[in-house]
Structure 1
Amino acid sequence: MPESPRFSSETWSELFDQSGVILLLYDVKTERIADANERACDVLDYDKETLLNTTITDVIGNRDHGSWPEHLPSVPDHQHLGEIELYTANGEPVPVEASVSHVQSTGDEYALVVAQDISERKARETELKRQKERAEQYFETAGNIMLVLNRDKTVARINERGSDLLGYERSELVGSDWFDHVVPEQIEGEIDEIFSAFWSDDAEPIEKNTNFIESKEGEKIFVKWHNTALRDQQGNVTGVLSSGIDITERKSYEQELEHLTETLRTIREVNRRLVRAADVETTIADIAEILHNHSSFHCVIIALLDDDQVDFAYESGTALTSAQIRACHSEEYLRSVRKQDLVRIEDVTVPPNQQHFGDEPAHEGVALSIGYDSQTYGVLTIHFTPDKPPTAEETDLLEELTDDMGFMIHGLKLQAERERLAEDLQTSLQQMQVIDRVLRHNFNNEMNVIKGHAETIRETCEGDTAESAATIVEESEQLLTTVNKEREITKLLGEQQSPEPIELGEIIDRVVADFRERYPMAQISVEGPTDRRIRAIGSIEQALTELLTNAVIHSDRVEPSIAVTIQTRDDTVAIRIADDGPGIPAMERKILTEEAEIEPLYHGSGLGLWLVKLIVQNSNGSLTFEENEPRGSIVTMKLPKAAEQN
């Protein structure tokens, strides 16, 4: 290695004080490095001794480019400036910004390389380039609309996705006014405010907004935008970058959902009105108004029919007269609706189903049958807002609604018929009670006269005459008893008793005590829990009295035995009356259990049991008959159990 050239102390001090840069001094002829500062050793990863045994071509990496002198400035005292790479001891490149200049000393020619390590700057530049390429790639390949607008609202850039979505060639949009091409006139002011705010010091920019734009074919496209200001190095806004997501399908779904929700809300309101229905015509008028409040139900017509003719009609939103409504509901129209239940009308402003006679835009309609159980009560016709045809979900809901309306009308008609029948029945009962009262009064008077004469004959005569008179007295008493039973039945039928909670024990104690006093020879026992509450009409005490009476007076024993047993079930109380008499005649049991019909020869001796049956039925209970062993009858009344008192 040649000796290092000698420089003045001032020269070396000036050079090596620049410790922040790389300094390499090499011999131009031999290309060997004659000297280097510490910074050069650190950056190039050499110790100084090794570095001084290295040629400049090793450090510069120009082995394939001939000798280094050709890279020197051709004019003395000039510097060669530029970016090059120096190589470390391990062969790793280090980007530097270098200058090379001639240095002469003691007649020898040297070159001085002054280099600044620009690795960090290069890394930043590389990262910026990568980010730029990435942004460029994202801009072009993004699935969203990517748009850059200038201050004058012209399109600076738009990606392929954006131009394709709008139906334009990219060249048609770039440089053109964005507002003129795609922003609808009705929202231009609103969008202009959002755009202008980015250049205003007074307004806060709106970074997110949603609006619709129009394609080249005039199709509405709903876009959700995210807006960002683009700025130069001084921070001035140079443009607006907007990224837009096409939400047309989602918006359409949201609108459909909102529309369906409104329809459901309307249907619920109609159903609430149906529940409160007391009068058909008033209810129909209210329903028409409720339906017309729906944003898509342009007009509503409800026509009620009687013998296939419009009997009552109500409209909302049509301005049709009653005569015009009747004319619209032609025989063919009604027949078609009855046959199909739902008829779609393509245009209600023109024949054959014209239902508007003024200057109205074309719009669709549907006609639905209002009925129940194969009976058609009317027709609901709805006209829809222009450009808003009915959806399948809407028509399904409307069909359900007309079914509910038909059920309402059917129910009110049944109710009216029941009220009429109840009124007729009440009138008939009142008339029957009057006739019954007159006949019974006359019958009792005349029969008492007959009975009185028969008693006189029986007491004053002998033989067959006395026996016949006794028979007349006995039959008279039975007839009077039968008539009294008939009076009780007629009275019960004419009354309107409702079941109520009754203390069973009080009734049994009262009735049994009375019978024991009236019939001391009868053996009457009571078993089971009598402290029960039943739900029955007030005449239930009379029913118990009637059953005990039958058991006593029809007994063929000197000391009749009667057992009253109370049995409790989950929700009923059974009152069982068993006797040891001759039993209830088979015909009486069959008629009471409705196994046989009443015929003209039926003598009606069991009217007391008929009265019991009516009382139990009106108490929502049941009555059963069975034979007792070894003889006698068992009659059981099953009655609902009343709620226990707290």
Structure 2
Amino acid sequence: MPDSHFDRLWDTVTDGEVWDEKVRNRRKSGEVYVAEQTIAPITTSDGAIEGYVAIQSDVTERERLRDRIELVLKELDSLVFEIDIETGLVTRLGAVESFFDVDTDEIPTRRAFQETVVAPEDRDRFDAFIERLRSGESESEVLDFRTTADAGEIRWLRSHAHRESDRRILGLARDVTALKDRELALRQYKQAIESSKDLIAAVDEDFEYLFANEAYRQYHGVESPDIEGRSLRSVLGEEQFEEVEPFVSRALTGRPVQTEVTREHPSRGDRILDVRLFPLEDAEGAVRGVGASMRDVTADREREAAIERESEYRRIMSEVNQALVREDDIDDLAPQIVDIIGSSTPFSCTFIYPLASADPDVICARGENLDEGDVEAIHTRDYIETVFEAGVLRMDDVTEPPLAHHDAEKESHPGVAVALEYENERYGILTVHLPSGSEPTGDDIELLETIGDDVAYAIYHYTLQAEHRLFADIVERIDDPVMLQNRDGTFRVLNDAVAEFARKEKEALIGRDETAFMDEEAAGLIKNRKERVLETEEPQSYQVTPSFPDGRERTFSTTRYPYYDDGDLDGTIAICRDVTDLKNHQRQLRILDRVLRHNVNNNMNVVQGYAEMVEERADGEIAEYAGKIEANSERLLDIADKQRKITDFLSDLPPVETVDVERMLDGTTDRIRSEHPYAEISWQCPGGIHARGNMALKDAIGELLTNSIVHSDREDPVVSVTVSRTGATVTISVVDENEPIPQMERDILTGEVDITALHHGSGLGLWLVKLIVEHADGRLRFQENEPRGNIVRIELPRSTVT
């Protein structure tokens, strides 16, 4: 025994403690042996040591066996530990260096072992694991726990521990990190498969299930998760099994299969499934089964069908629009519309029945078993009234009474009838049948209704064109002089009546003015009126009594209008009437006014239609130019609308009367607020203020409010109205925070510059305000607001109400 060892032994027992250790000694023969020595002091009653008891056991063979086992375990990269049950000391620890890079002597106790070897989150579990062995509750235990080895790397150890005796626990732990990683990956893979929305399953060579995920089981009504071993036939049923068996058999030959099948879902009806089958091979490459992945693609197929249908709708609408633009007669248009709709995918038999035509050639039919006589017979009075009452009539079956279009032998199919009507004028009926087995969708009906509206408008437009030609003929044939004059006052176009009164040939008057056939005074008065029309761009009504060279003298009541060519003011149009036939004069004036309105609005609508078509089909500069044409057409229509309001006002001037200003402002601001809810409109008016005005005054206030709102550069425009009374004048002030009204427009309204500088709708709106105010003997004034904006003042005569 080494001296140092003996010294420690002697120090221990002389201190009254028990010595318990293994020692290596040498026999007399020179052989080294290992002994377990326990030496305890014998003490007297007063604690004095009077002797020692020593027990020694030869454990050489056991230690040799343990050393060999430890060498083997070290080669296996396993950790060996031995824990004294009574003291909790780690009495044996092997291969720890290969795991934790620490010396065995640094882990003397179970607590030190835990702190060194066991990760903090698993120490309570490890402690309970050892305690079950120490208490005898269990003879052997297995525990997986984490350890933080190699610079913080988390690793898993699986420990097999055994209660060797009443004194010792022997444990073996080996690294199972790779196994844990594989188990985790497998769990995650299984969890992904089980939670997948796709239907996933596998069957073996005998068509028996190996597994099926939850989505698959729910889809096929299998409540239990235990599907392994069940036959494919028993789950799918005979009909579905017969459908899929050839595909599964093909996959069992080693070839992947892709197909689509329709299956009935327990709660969602028939669904379309994209099925992918793939062979399952063993390690030697032999096919042992078939895996299946099935995805519900119903929504995808429905979207594809919707896209295809929408594309067809666009094609139909595009071709219809081209026909509408290209043709100018219903006789030419109707057959094309019928062919476009009837040859399309969603629709079949199609016909248009025009009400105004007695010619059977314009009754257009598409369908082998319907001829023109059949179509005409269908359109009874009751059928026509039913369609026009409904607007769009949906027919579930056009082979059955009361709306039978075919005989009963024809396969049942639905239809839709659309009334062709515009501005309460009935033009005809568009009837469209759908293929058997289909039903008209909301999109189908919307498309047909749109086509019906467009066709009705086209017929309306054709009718207007015919009316225009009729009106041109009327203008030429009427006895009243009608003339179109250039900006310089010379004649450009005139009818026979002008030449008759002038007693000159029409050709002799072209390029000359009124001085060619009447006295200078009358000609001068007419010249002034023409200039006034050009300045104001407003119609002028006046009477003139010219003297002709032959001594005749006639009095004419004349209305002169501004004339526009492509939107530009290009002259004046005058209608003259002998006042001896005033009633007839008024009738003719209304006719011409209607012609002018239709010309401006309808021609601009046609321009817009062409511009929209060009913009849709072209690109680059051409599309940009088309957009500008469209925008300018819209502005011209707005100008024409304001011109119409001015004409209406001047044609039927309202009487001047007393106006309750407060009540008028209340109603007017409410109306403008409803039209522009995003604007902030406020007004103040003392009670009891009355002014001389007319019923059109509310339109003047509304025009000023609307003008301030639409020309504001703010997201939430602010405009206010205040009313004041000074002496005999009532002043209504409209105040905004916009850019100042252009000086050009203000100068025109005050008469300081020529009217030709005015080229936009806001100017016409202010002209309407000016005319309304001046008709009531009022004045219109402009002032810039501080720090920004405009103040437009309407000054009216005060009225006293008794």
Question: What interval of TM-score do these two structures reach, taking the shorter chain for normalisation?
Answer: 0.5 to 0.7
How many residues in Structure 1 have an aligned counterpart in Structure 2? 463
d(CA) in 2 for partners of 1:88, 1:123: 10
d(CA) in 1 for partners of 2:213, 2:148: 48
One-letter code of the match for 1:164?
Q
Whether 2:352 is the aligned partner of 1:297: answer no
Pairing of 1:625-644 with structure 2 (within 5 A): none
Cα shift readout 1:383-438 (whole Å, capped 9, x = no counterpart): 11233211223212212211211222233344456557767988x79xxxxxxxxx
Does structure 2 retain, via aligned residues, the 8 Å contact 1:302–1:378?
yes
Aligned residue number for residue 386 of structure 2: 336
Aligned residue number for residue 276 of structure 1: 326
Does structure 1 retain, via aligned residues, the 8 Å contact 2:319–2:340?
yes
Aligned residue number for residue 314 of structure 1: 364
Pick from 125, 129, 141 the counterpart of residue 179 of structure 2.
125
Whether 2:75 is the aligned partner of 1:20: answer yes
d(CA) in 1 for partners of 2:581, 2:214: 104
Describe the shift of the 1:38–1:637 C-alpha distance in structure 2 as closer, same or farther (beyond 3 A): closer
Describe the shift of the 1:52–1:15 C-alpha distance in structure 2 as closer, same or farther (beyond 3 A): farther
Pairing of 1:401-412 with structure 2 (within 5 A): 401-412=451-462
Aligned residue number for residue 503 of structure 2: 486
**Percent sequence identity over aligned pairs:** 19
One-letter code of the match for 2:174?
I
d(CA) in 2 for partners of 1:153, 1:317: 52
One-letter code of the match for 1:291?
I
d(CA) in 2 for partners of 1:550, 1:294: 70
Indicate the SS of the match to 2:363: strand
Does structure 2 retain, via aligned residues, the 8 Å contact 1:24–1:35?
no
Describe the shift of the 1:318–1:344 C-alpha distance in structure 2 as closer, same or farther (beyond 3 A): farther
**Cα drift, residue 162 of structure 1:** 3.2
d(CA) in 1 for partners of 2:177, 2:329: 87
Cα shift readout 1:153-205 (whole Å, capped 9, x = no counterpart): 655433343343455656999522487668699xx68x966x6675556x5x4
Describe the shift of the 1:545–1:229 C-alpha distance in structure 2 as closer, same or farther (beyond 3 A): farther
Aligned residue number for residue 39 of structure 1: 95
Pick from 591, 594, 598 the counterpart of residue 578 of structure 2.
598
Describe the shift of the 1:318–1:546 C-alpha distance in structure 2 as closer, same or farther (beyond 3 A): same
**Cα drift, residue 370 of structure 1:** 1.8
Pairing of 1:153-552 with structure 2 (within 5 A): 155-166=209-220, 174-177=230-233, 205=256, 212-215=262-265, 219-223=269-273, 230-234=280-284, 236-306=286-356, 312-357=362-407, 359-416=409-466, 485-489=502-506, 491=507, 539-540=510-511, 542-543=512-513, 546=516, 551=520
**Cα drift, residue 62 of structure 1:** 6.0
Describe the shift of the 1:84–1:271 C-alpha distance in structure 2 as closer, same or farther (beyond 3 A): closer
What 5-or-longer segments of structure 2 have no aligned partner? 1-20, 25-32, 35-59, 118-125, 150-154, 479-498, 538-546, 561-573, 583-599, 601-753, 760-802
One-letter code of the match for 1:546?
A
Q: Greater CA radius of gyration, 1 or 2?
A: 1
Does structure 2 retain, via aligned residues, the 8 Å contact 1:96–1:118?
yes
Indicate the SS of the match to 1:298: coil
Aligned residue number for residue 23 of structure 2: 3
Pick from 185, 190, 202 the counterpart of residue 148 of structure 1.
202
What 5-or-longer segments of structure 1 have no aligned partner? 73-81, 103-109, 430-481, 494-538, 556-561, 573-581, 603-619, 621-635, 642-646
One-letter code of the match for 1:488?
E
The higher-RCO structure (CA 8 Å, 6+ apart) is: 1
Does structure 2 retain, via aligned residues, the 8 Å contact 1:328–1:355?
yes
d(CA) in 1 for partners of 2:520, 2:435: 79
Cα shift readout 1:285-328 (whole Å, capped 9, x = no counterpart): 12111101221212212222248997742221352133322222
Pairing of 1:608-619 with structure 2 (within 5 A): none
One-letter code of the match for 1:409?
I
**Cα drift, residue 20 of structure 1:** 1.6
The TM-score normalised by the length of structure 2 is: 0.45
**Cα drift, residue 49 of structure 1:** 5.2
Does structure 2 retain, via aligned residues, the 8 Å contact 1:213–1:222?
yes
One-letter code of the match for 1:297?
F
Cα shift readout 1:320-368 (whole Å, capped 9, x = no counterpart): 1333222222221112112222211111111111112263332211111
Aligned residue number for residue 473 of structure 1: none
d(CA) in 1 for partners of 2:344, 2:324: 18
One-letter code of the match for 1:349?
T
Describe the shift of the 1:223–1:492 C-alpha distance in structure 2 as closer, same or farther (beyond 3 A): farther
One-letter code of the match for 1:176?
L
One-letter code of the match for 1:368?
V
Describe the shift of the 1:322–1:169 C-alpha distance in structure 2 as closer, same or farther (beyond 3 A): farther
The TM-score normalised by the length of structure 1 is: 0.54
d(CA) in 2 for partners of 1:395, 1:163: 41
Does structure 2 retain, via aligned residues, the 8 Å contact 1:318–1:356?
no
One-letter code of the match for 1:2?
K
d(CA) in 2 for partners of 1:340, 1:95: 82
C-alpha RMSD of the superposition: 6.2
Indicate the SS of the match to 1:381: strand
Does structure 2 retain, via aligned residues, the 8 Å contact 1:370–1:403?
yes
Describe the shift of the 1:486–1:101 C-alpha distance in structure 2 as closer, same or farther (beyond 3 A): same
Aligned residue number for residue 773 of structure 2: none
